[in-house]
Amino acid sequence: MNIILMGPPGAGKGTQAELIKKSFPIPHISTGDMFREAVANGTAMGKEAKKYMDAGQLVPDEVTIGIVEDRLAQDDCEKGFLLDGFPRTTLQAQALDKVVAKRGKSVEVALNIFVPEDILLLRLSSRVSCTTCKAVYNTKFSAPATAGICDQCGGKLAQRNDDKEETVKSRLKVYQEQTQPLLDYYEEQKNLINIDGNRDSAEVFKDVKAILEKL
């Protein structure tokens, strides 16, 4: 199972990935999570990536492609992978095709979650996540039982640095300019499946699950 989750910031990629993981035993690879971890650990790559993330820009392709290639080379990816937030540029998509082709495989499906921009802005301005276990909540749509506290581990919830209004605007523009064209790339490969993400996340997952069960 080689699956890609696509969609603009706030579409619900991370939320669907968490649900997919419970039903399908494949590793969830989120480049955003990998970069945030590198930032938190203060590595050289993290310091470099942070400059771009805080500005709402993409981390350069050579860095991003490098970390994904290393991750996909690990044993747990042999049976497949669920990529979340990668590829985001045509160069990244081509690099991914090469890596999977080397193993005699191909990307099976690119699930594109689409959501109107006004809803994305609303979701991103109210997204919070656990500083300990990284669980994602929404103060408007899926609030924790106690404000500011993680239901799963009791950790503190915080807003992401790049979910501030001006950064979000730049991320949405970057998405339109650099990532949206990739939808044509996967459409041409006949791998693109569009999913209406402007519904309850359980409803969205019903569709996602039905698609993945057929693979």
- Active site amino acids: 13, 88, 127, 160, 171
Candidates 39, 172, 50, 181; CA nearest to 116 is: 172
Please state, as a whole number, how many other Cβ atoms lie within 10 Å of the Cβ of residue 182: 20
Token pair in block for residue 201: 């996340």
Are the C-beta atoms of 87 and 96 separated by less than 8 Å? Answer: yes
List 4, 31, 81, 182, residue binding ligand ADP (CB under 6 A): 31
Determine the Cα–Cα distance for residues 143 and 158; give it in Å rounded to an integer. 13
Residue 6 within binding range of ligand ADP, rule CB under 6 A = no
Among 85, 107, 109, 150, binds ligand ADP (CB under 6 A): 85
Strand partners, 2: 81
Helix (H) or strand (E) holding 204: helix 201-213
Q: Which residue is nearest to ligand ADP (CB)?
A: 32
Q: Contact positions toward Zn ion, by CB under 5 A?
A: 130, 132-133, 135, 150, 152-153, 155
Query: Checking DSSP bridges between strand 127-130 and strand 136-138, what pairing results, if any?
Result: antiparallel
Residue list 118-177, contact with ligand ADP (CB under 6 A): 123, 127, 136-138, 141-142, 162, 171
Q: Which of 2, 3, 6, 7 binds ligand ADP (CB under 6 A)?
A: 7
127 binding partner (options ligand ADP, Zn ion, none; Cβ < 5 to 8 Å by kind): ligand ADP
d(C-alpha 199, C-alpha 179), whole Å: 23
Give me the residues paired with residue 196 across strands.
114
Query: Which of 4, 12, 95, 182 is in the footprint of ligand ADP by CB under 6 A?
Result: 12
Q: Among 39-47, 57-65, 100-108, 147-155, which window interacts with ligand ADP (CB under 6 A)?
A: 57-65
Which residues form the interface with ligand ADP (CB under 6 A)?
7, 9-15, 31-32, 35, 52-53, 58-59, 64, 85-86, 88, 92, 123, 127, 136-138, 141-142, 162, 171, 200-201, 204
